[in-house]
Amino acid sequence: MTIVNIPPFDATCQYQSIAAQIEKNICAVMASGRYIMGPQVKEFELEFAQYLSCDQVISCNSGTDALHLALRALRIGAGDEVITTPFTFIATTEAIGIVGATPVFVDVDLNTYNIDTELIESKITERTKAILPVHLYGRPGNMTAIMEIARKYNLKVIEDCAQATGAVWSGQKVGTIGDVGCFSFFPTKNLGCFGDGGAIATSDKVIAERVEYLRRHGGKVKYQHEELGLNSRLDTIQAAVLLVKLQYLDRWNSARAEIADYYRNQLANVKGIVLPTTVQEGNSVWNQFTIRVLDKQRSNVQKFLKEKGIGSMVYYPIPLHLQQVHSNLNYPLGSLPISEQLSHEVLSLPMFPELTASAQKVVVESVSQAFFALT
């Protein structure tokens, strides 16, 4: 058996393609001595806001802090409830808990992996203050339905766009549809820096102003502090990296879409898997290409791929309502059945813009061989 080396994600190929530009920008920052809140930070915020077509972007040091700052800016805290999905990374509910609010879980749709909008209204109470949808794997959630519900009940909407930078719903980029959009620039994201980084997007001036000073120790003027804030600034070097990468984002997202189309076409007749569906109302940016492996065969398929040298990932093996940290919320096993089912079935195949045609071919052939070997 031929052994290859195809990782789930590879940042080195991307770096090599733009190394000269990246190194020029980083060296300029180092020479300037302005390592905190240098001019590149504001330049990136302006360019990213223009890319998103929103009024303002405020950068911060992680996607987690972006969520935290958004909740704080909307004055959501102790005693409040925030409706969200259990099928996502812990950062989503971590931010809710840090501000003292309570996450209220709504199960996801089996086909989209995103929050099931038909179940949201049944979870709204007098304590509900916001809906926090996650655009999982790069696929936008049903923002039309979410915004209709939010307007009906006078709720705020915070979009978790950590995996979906550049995705579009109904002609509008995610992160600009709700009250606030939260982005992550973790290296594996569609727009990733060389460490942690994040941003908040909004067209509400009041929210923007509050986020701006909360990220700088809660003060509008240096050494004057209105409330307890955070030290959550995007490093100037990371902004310099992002300024280069932003120029290529749409090209890279298009490459991801082409890979996804190839996977979908080549794997269409493989029995035992369910392929991710396309988005009729917009587009996915395919941060992950995540299939469902049926009949409890995921571990066997993943082992087969590993033996062939093909990396794969499980996002996420334990839904948040079953995590120990949320045991106090009393969601028993079986309470959110779709999320629980997906946690045993999902498998993300290699996906990054630089994945070569030959590597893609090996991936689809190996997935097909895995199921042949299991029958």
pLDDT digits (tens, 9 = 90+) for 200-241: 999 999 999 999 999 999 998 989 999 999 999 999 999 999
Q: Give pLDDT tens digits for 97-146.
A: 999 999 999 999 999 999 999 999 999 999 999 999 999 999 999 999 99
pLDDT at 373: 79
Name the nearest CA neighbour of 356 among 7, 39, 2, 15: 7
The confidence band for 2, taking pLDDT boundaries of 50, 70 and 90, is low
Beta partners for residue 59, in sequence order: 199
Q: Is the model's pLDDT at 248 over the cut of 80?
A: yes
To which H or E segment does residue 260 belong?
helix 249-266
The confidence band for 371, taking pLDDT boundaries of 50, 70 and 90, is confident
Q: Is the model's pLDDT at 1 over the cut of 90?
A: no
Spell out the residues 6+ positions from residue 168 whose beta carbon is closer than 8 angstroms to its own.
140, 174, 282, 283
Residue at 367: amino acid letter: V
Structural domains of the chain in order of their starting residue, each with its CATH number: 11-246 (3.40.640.10), 249-374 (3.90.1150.10)
Beta partners for residue 128, in sequence order: 81
* DSSP 3-state of 352: coil
Average pLDDT, the chain: 97
E strand spans, the chain: 56-60, 81-84, 102-105, 128-132, 156-160, 168-169, 172-173, 180-184, 198-202, 273-274, 282-283, 289-293, 346-349
pLDDT at 103: 98
Residue 191 near residue 242 (C-beta atoms within 8 A): yes
Residue 70 near residue 211 (C-beta atoms within 8 A): yes
Instruction: In whole angstroms, give the CA distance from residue 164 to residue 138.
Output: 4
For residue 272 the two structure tokens come to 């035992």
Instruction: In whole angstroms, give the CA distance from residue 181 to residue 190.
Output: 16
Q: pTM here?
A: 0.97
Percent residues over pLDDT 70 in the chain:
99
